[in-house]
Amino acid sequence: MTKEQPPIHVGIDVSKDKLAVAIAGGGVRDEVLSLGTFENAPASVDWLLKRLSGRGAPVSVCYEAGPTGYGLYRQVRAFGFECCVVAPSLIPVRAGERVRTDRLDAIRLARLLRAGELTPIWVSDETHEAMRDLVRARESAAEDQRHKRQLVSAFMLRHGRIYHRTKPWTMRYRRWLQSQSFDHQAHQIALQEMLQAERNATERVDRLTKHIEALVPEWDLAPTLKALQALRGVALINAVTFMAEIGDVRRFETPVKLMAYLGLVPSRILDRKNDQAWRDYPGRQLLSSS
């Protein structure tokens, strides 16, 4: 009877060009070894995975979430190994652990993975990630549009041109802007260029909105989007933005965890002088703006 090999835990420190790799055996007292540095390319990763599979033991891999995305995660999973992506803010740090190098970070990840002290984050599938990128592209375009409109409004206010109706950026408002004339040609040119920039930004927002509307029916979350739009004040873009950022809400075990993810759980700090409470928003600005 063949004895089952102890599992291998692999920690990878990922950067744009290279991967620092370390492995930890299944035993608590087994040494954590650095395997060296590899090129951050699919061919190199494939070679590394084949080398690990040759050991005949179960393999689990982990790395920190970062700007390189989830390509490594998907390649490892496609190979048949377990893989988890961990948030840097949730990685335990030993007291006095101040030296940071790629090699030491990989060793630390392998050691913590073996100890079961890492908390994996949710990784979306490729379709969901693509829709989220499209939603964020539209949000970026909408932010650019707001900025262009603010420039026009500030320019008109600076020159004493006040629009007395309450709702700006209607067709009537645009006609009013086009009717404005200035004594100096430079002012006229500046206004026309700002108006053209605003039109370009608006057309970009409209294009991206139409792309989102066309792709939503093909998304597996389309029924959920339809249900969300039954709520008062929730339109398609609001619903798509929410679901693109949240993903599958079933991944949250309780409503409190969902609220914490959104940054809606109040935090309180107490000291001798004051008693303050505030809400903490951990990078969910896009959701709050939707």
In this structure, what CATH number is given to the domain that contains residue 76?
3.30.420.10
Query: What pLDDT score was predicted for residue 84?
Result: 96
3-state secondary structure the chain: CCCCCCCEEEEEEECCCEEEEEEECCCCCCCEEEEEEEECCHHHHHHHHHHHHCCCCCEEEEEECCCCCCHHHHHHHHHCCEEEEECHHHCCCCCCCCCCCHHHHHHHHHHHHHHCCCCECCCCCHHHHHHHHHHHHHHHHHHHHHHHHHHHHHHHHHCCCCCCCCCCCCHHHHHHHHHCCCCCHHHHHHHHHHHHHHHHHHHHHHHHHHHHHHHHHHCCCHHHHHHHCCCCCCCHHHHHHHHHHHCCHHHCCCHHHHHHHHCCCEEEEECCCCEEEEECCCCCHHHHHC
CB atoms within 10 A of CB 83: 22
Mean local confidence (pLDDT), 181-187: 95
Q: Is residue 37 pLDDT above 70, yes or no? A: yes
Higher pLDDT, 242 or 278: 242
Q: Examine residue 1 and state whether it is found in any structural domain, yes or no.
A: no
Residue 164, domain extent: 126-243
227 or 25: which leads in pLDDT: 227
Residue 1 in this model has a pLDDT that exceeds 50 = no
Packing angle, helices 185-215 and 236-246, rounded to 10:
70
On whether the pTM is more than 0.85, the answer is: no
Confidence of residue 93 (pLDDT cuts 50, 70, 90): confident
User: pLDDT band for position 65 (50/70/90)?
Assistant: very high
pLDDT score recorded for residue 284: 54
Check whether residue 20 and residue 94 sit in a common domain. Answer: yes
Judgement on whether residues 12 and 96 belong to the same structural domain of the protein: yes
CA atoms of 172 and 153, how far apart (whole Å): 15
207 and 256 fall within a common domain: no
Output the pLDDT for position 286. Answer: 53
* Total domains in the fold of the chain: 3
Question: Are residues 176 and 100 part of one domain?
Answer: no
| Residues 158-180 pLDDT 10s | 999 999 888 899 999 999 999 99
Q: Is pLDDT at 269 greater than 60 in this prediction?
A: no
Whether pLDDT at 278 is above 80: no
pLDDT of 132 strictly over 90: yes
**Domain check: are 13 and 108 in the same one?**
yes
> For residues 173 and 198, is the Cβ–Cβ distance under 8 A?
no
Whether residues 84 and 105 fall in one domain: yes
Q: Report if residue 87 sits inside a domain.
A: yes
152, 179: one domain: yes
Under the banding of pLDDT at 50, 70 and 90, the label for residue 281 is very low
> Residues 227, 257: one domain?
no
